[in-house]
Amino acid sequence: MTTPGDDEPRRMPPSIQPRGAQRPPAPQRPAASARPAPPPAGAPTRRSTGAFDTSQRGAAPAGRRPADPASSPRRNPPAQTPVAATRVAPPGAYDAPPPGAPPSRTAPPAAAPRRRRRHRLRTVVLVVLLLVVGSLVWFAAWASGRIQHVEALSGAPDTPGRTYLIVGSDSREGWAESTVEGARTDTIMLLHVPESGPTALVSIPRDSYVPIPDHQDNKINAAFSLGGAPLLVETVEDLSGLTVDLYLEIGFTGVADMVDAVGGVELCYDRDVDDPKSQMEWTAGCHEADGETALAFSRMRYSDPLGDIGRTQRQRQVVSAVASEALAPGTLLNPFRMVALTSAGLDAFAVSEGSGVVDLARAAFDIRGGLAGDAVTGTPPIRNMGYSVAGVGSTVLLDPDTSPAFWEAVAEGTFEPGSEIGGLE
Task: Output the 3-class SS for the chain.
Answer: CCCCCCCCCCCCCHHHCCCCCCCCCCCCCCCCCCCCCCCCCCCCCCCCCCCCCHHHCCCCCCCCCCCCCCCCCCCCCCCCCCCCCCCCCCCCCCCCCCCCCCCCCCCCCCHHHHHHHHHHHHHHHHHHHHHHHHHHHHHHHHHHCCCCEECCCCCCCCCCCEEEEEEEECCCCHHHHCCCCCCCCCEEEEEEECCCCCCEEEECCCCEEECCCCCCCEECCHHHHHHHHHHHHHHHHHHHCCCCCEEEEEEHHHHHHHHHHCCCEEEEECCCEEECCCCEEECCEEEEECHHHHHHHHHCCCCCCCCHHHHHHHHHHHHHHHHHHHCCHHHHCCHHHHHHHHHHHHHHEEEECCCCHHHHHHHHHHHHHCCCCCCEEEEEEEEEEEEEECCCEEEEEECCCCHHHHHHHHHHCCCCCCCEEEEEC
| Complete domains list, the chain, with CATH | 150-424 (3.40.630.190)
Confidence of residue 2 (pLDDT cuts 50, 70, 90): very low
pLDDT at 195: 93
Whether 377 shows a pLDDT value over 80: the answer reads yes
pLDDT of residue 163: 96
Highest-confidence segment of 39-43, 82-86, 187-191, 404-408: 404-408
pLDDT at 184: 62
pLDDT tens digits, one per residue of 213-222: 999 999 999 9
Say what the pLDDT of residue 273 is. 93
Q: Pick 12 or 280 by higher pLDDT.
A: 280
User: How far is Cα 9 from Cα 6, in angstroms, rounded to an integer?
Assistant: 8
What are phi and psi for residue 62, nearest 5 degrees?
-65, 145
Which range has the worst mean pLDDT, 111-115, 306-310, 319-323? 111-115
Top pLDDT among 370 and 106 is at 370
Are 249 and 229 contacting, i.e. CB atoms less than 8 angstroms apart?
yes
- Distance, CA of 241 to CA of 304 (rounded, Å): 31
Which tens digit of pLDDT belongs to each residue from 288-318? 999 999 989 988 888 888 888 888 888 888 8
Q: 0.75 exceeded by the pTM?
A: no
CA distance 164 to 324: 17
Cβ(410)–Cβ(242) below 8 Å: yes
The overall average pLDDT reported for the chain is 77
pLDDT at 208: 94
In whole angstroms, give the CA distance from residue 153 to residue 137: 28
Q: Percentage of the chain surpassing pLDDT 90?
A: 33
Whether residue 24 has pLDDT greater than 80: no
Q: What pLDDT sits at residue 369?
A: 79
Mean pLDDT along residues 382-395: 92
- Model confidence at 416, in pLDDT bands (50, 70, 90)? very high
* Cβ(229)–Cβ(247) below 8 Å: yes
